[in-house]
Amino acid sequence: MRCLAERYRGLGREVTAIDEDAVWGERRVDRAPVDYTTASPLFYDLLHSERDAGESPPPAQVVQVFEQLVNEALDRSAIWLQDWCWSDLLGMLGWDHQAVRVTLQQLQKIAAALAPRVIYLRVDPSVALLRALEERGARWFNRHAATPFDGPVTATMVDNMAALSRRAESARIGALAGWATTSVDAAAPQHEVLEAIWQELEQPQPGSLRCGQ
C-alpha cells in the first residue's frame, strides 16, 4: 500500500491512505498494552474512546464516519487506499449478522462514488505468515497466537495459524460479494506483485472481480 501511495503521489495525485495503524494505533511487536491513542482521531473516537466501558459503536455511527471519509476523499479528488476489509472490522464489534450485512450494504452504496476496486492478494496463509515473521519477528507472532512471549515459533505453530486463516478466508471473500474484485497472485516477489496490481488498476478489465481503491 505504501508503494502504491508513493507511485500515485509521484504522478501528482492526491492520496487518502488508511492503513491498519490509522484504525488500531501504531503496530507493536511486543506484549505491552496497545496504545490506541496513536490511531487517527476519527477512528479513536469511533472505536477506542469507549473501549474501557466495553461498548461498541452503533451501525449508524460507523456509516457516518465512512461517509465523512468518502466525502473528504471526493473533495480532494483523492485515490483512496486501505489494507484491511470493513467486513473484518464489523465482525469485531459484536453486532449480529443482520446488522453487519445491512451496514456493509450501506458502505457499498456510499463507496460507489469512488469507483472502488478490491485487489485480493491470493497467497497461501502459511506463506503470508512466514513473510510477516521475517518482517515483524517472533514477538509479533506470539502476540497474535497467544503463545509464550519469548518462545520460539515452530512450523507446527505456523501451520495451526494458517489453518485458522484459511477457515476465515471464505467468510471474508463472501463478504466482498457485490464489490468489484480482482485476484492477484501474491506468491511472486514483491516487485512483481506490485507491478501486477498497478497494471490491474491502470487497465481495468470489464466484469472482473475487484478489493478497495
Domain of residue 75, residue span: 1-114
User: Has residue 13 been placed in a domain?
Assistant: yes
User: Has residue 16 been placed in a domain?
Assistant: yes
pLDDT of residue 140: 85
pLDDT score of 35 more than 90: no
User: Has residue 209 been placed in a domain?
Assistant: no
Q: What is the band of 206 on the pLDDT scale with cuts at 50, 70, 90?
A: low
pLDDT of residue 75: 96
> Which are the contacts of 72, defined by CB distance < 8 A and separation ≥ 6?
16, 78
Average pLDDT estimate for 7-30: 90
User: Has residue 163 been placed in a domain?
Assistant: no
User: Has residue 66 been placed in a domain?
Assistant: yes
How far, in Å, CA of 212 to CA of 204, rounded?
13
User: Has residue 67 been placed in a domain?
Assistant: yes
The b/e string for 152-167 (b: 16+ C-beta within 10 A; e otherwise) is ebeeebbeebbeeeee
Q: What is the band of 11 on the pLDDT scale with cuts at 50, 70, 90?
A: very high
Give 128-173 pLDDT, tens digit per residue: 999 989 988 888 888 888 888 788 899 999 999 999 989 888 888 8
pLDDT score of 180 more than 70: yes
User: Has residue 158 been placed in a domain?
Assistant: no
Number of domains in the chain: 1
Using alpha carbons, list the distances in angstroms from residue 155 to 37, 90, 160, 161, 186.
35, 31, 9, 10, 21
How far, in Å, CA of 159 to CA of 125, rounded?
9
Pick the most confident of 52-61, 63-72, 145-154, 201-210.
63-72
User: Has residue 7 been placed in a domain?
Assistant: yes
